[in-house]
Structure 1
Amino acid sequence: MTVPAAGFVQRAWVEQIMGLPISVHLRGADPATPAVEAAVTAYFAELRRADDIFSTYRADSEISRWQRGELTLAAADPLLGRVLASCDQAFVRTSGFFDARSLPDPLGGAPRTDPSGLVKGWAVERAARRLPADHGWCVNAGGDVLVHAPDGLPAWRLGVEDPMRDDKILRAVTMRRGALATSGTRHRGTHIVDPHTGQPPIGLRQVSVLGPELLWADVYATAAFARGTSALEWLATLDGYEGLVVTSEGRVHSTPGWPIA
């Protein structure tokens, strides 16, 4: 726990869920109370529930059982149907560049439904309702971030990683509320494909998206990366969201509303 000069107390928690480290940073008069502890515990419990339903790496998850025909949507947790419906909405919003219904099977089987590209942002955002509204909080799920800063507490300052240089921040932004999501090849290699061609896109190293909702910031970052060289032009059409693009040559471009640090 740290006590910054501004007089509030800051505390952090980290757990490994959904195959990645997820952290919660809280600011307030006393983030060590039993009520705050219970809120953070409930937050992580929500994420573990999401993993139980949606993990494509677990044979016993509901998404895996549904894929194998062992579970119907009617019998499944209602969240499964809601997320699949959100994936269909994302397909429409992105003109098919986010397509969770026809992704290649890593084991070489037939194309499958994999909502992982939407689930992380959705789950992190949904679980955040458990966190205390009178505290400032910043949650980070593998580099995708959601923040909240109530009146009387400072805004959060977030950094976008440089995809070509270790431990260097490419851009910094200050936010009181909202989300920052990034898609690229630095940490996971080539894992995003253009659904229209089935091939990895060309021309980009990284796309970051700022906006009010982490679910859609994450979806838009993935879809923009899948578009390749047309990413920036498309991002500029999104209402309420801004984008930052790093090309394969290392050039950095942003939409007109991207904040200047």
Structure 2
Amino acid sequence: MNWWLSIALCLLAMPGHTAERLQHVSPDNARYQHSEVLMTTDVTFTIITTDDVRAKQAVQQAIAEIRRIEALLSEWQPDSEISRLNRSAATSPQTVSNETYRLLDEARKISEASDGAFDITFKSAGKLWDFRAQTIPSDEALAKAVAAIDYRQVAMKSNDRSIQFLKEGTQIGLGGIAKGYAVDRAVQIIRQSGFDEFAVNAGGDLYAVSQGNQKLWRVGVRNPRDDSALLALLPVANAAVATSGDYERFFIRNGRRYHHIINPHTGMPAEGSMSVTVLAPRTYLADALATAVFVLGPEAGMQMIEEQSGCEAMVVTEDGRILLSTGLNDLQKVPVKGQ
């Protein structure tokens, strides 16, 4: 992969405190930009264009698509297909739409590749944690929850698109992949509207589009211990970037950091990394792989990334080391003009 990476402490004049910060290399270009809260996340649409009217129409269509996906896949909306599965799939097979089935199948493949580090059945443990109230679940509650976590207990039949849970207590949640999928669908909508230079950034899960693969977008990856500074600057084109970090939702108790990235095998926050940034062909894939790598830990996670075609990763370990996958490591000293 032809990525450029400049490891430096770079400051960009961009608002927000998301995992990544996005900037176009030509700041004077005419653009249309709109931000809206969708799927409980600030989503920013940036289109390089002088046609604000057509850009606004495209963004509104993309917003409608994201809302449709949320209604389909949200575990928090009672009428969604995921909520219906959680209510009934342990009792009898449930038929789902082709769209939901395909995404669940992709999630299963990532679960298999990561040996369950990414697991959509982690919900039973995840729901025990309340990071606002700084609640730590009991050992007994975690043990019971972990016993219900196993993506292999979700039986899928492609002939009729049926889903059934084979173990009582199994619950699924697509929080680690649905937002990325929504970004991918929004990108497709805007592309179909005729734009070829734009980006969609959903709280750090982002996709940047450029005509002719020109790397005109810069993605700055934040320092996990200083939200005013960046550790890496990635020029990208027609690719997705997603970051999982231990600084997004967390609290500290007795000197230990408890964060929202849960290890499905233990029910506890994953250890070994401060942040993981993944570059991939699709945002749903970058989203899920960032979680998987974080849970696996730096060494095992990087090994998995090396086996994924078209994917690269940057890991910041708990002791502050920066690990780069092969496609990034060879180019890390290439400077970025103007920095």
Identity, in percent, stands at 29
What is the alpha-carbon distance in structure 2 between the residues aligned to residue 59 and residue 92 of structure 1? 29
TM-score scaled by length of structure 2: 0.69
Checking the alignment, whether the CA contact within 8 Å between 1:183 and 1:221 is kept in structure 2 is yes
1:174 maps to which of 224, 232, 235? 235
AA aligned opposite 1:68: R
Matched, 1:199 2:268: yes
**Higher relative contact order structure (alpha carbons within 8 Å, sequence separation ≥ 6):** 2
Q: In 2, are the aligned partners of 1:156 and 1:174 still within 8 Å (CA)?
A: yes
TM, length-normalised to structure 1: 0.88
Query: Is structure 2 residue 117 aligned with structure 1 residue 47?
Result: no
1:163 aligns to 2:182 (yes or no): no
1:199–1:9 Cα change, 3 Å: same
User: Which residue is equivalent to 1:18?
Assistant: 39
Question: One-letter code of the match for 1:114?
Answer: G
The CA deviation at 1:219 is 1.2
C-alpha deviation, 1:194, in angstroms: 2.5
Larger gyration radius, structure 1 or structure 2: 2
Query: What is the one-letter code of the residue matched to 2:318?
Result: S
Amino acid at match of 1:49: R
Q: Which moved more, 1:108-117 or 1:215-224?
A: 108-117
Aligned residues: 256
Q: Is the 8 A contact 1:244 1:254 kept in 2?
A: yes
Flag structure 2 segments of 5+ consecutive residues without an equivalent. 1-24, 129-140, 146-168, 251-258
Is residue 223 of structure 2 the alignment partner of residue 223 of structure 1? no
**Cα 1:148/1:72, change in 2 over 3 Å:** same
Output aligned runs, 1:130-141, within 5 Å. 130-132=189-191, 133-141=194-202
Q: Distance in 2 between matches of 1:222 and 1:173?
A: 20
Residue 103 (structure 1) aligned to one of 123, 130, 134: 123
Of 55-64 and 207-216, more deviation after overlay is shown by 55-64
Does the 8 Å contact 1:54/1:116 carry over to 2? Answer: no
Q: Residue 102 of structure 2: which of 62, 77, 82 is its match?
A: 82
Q: Contact conserved, 1:44 with 1:127, CA < 8 A, in 2?
A: yes
- Kept in 2, the 8 Å contact 1:242–1:255? The answer is yes
CA deviations over 1:142-163 (Å, ceiling 9, x no partner): 1111010114976101100110
Spell out structure 1 runs of 4+ moving beyond 6 A: 4-7
Whichever residue aligns with residue 124 of structure 1, its letter is V
* CA shift for structure 1 position 111: 4.1
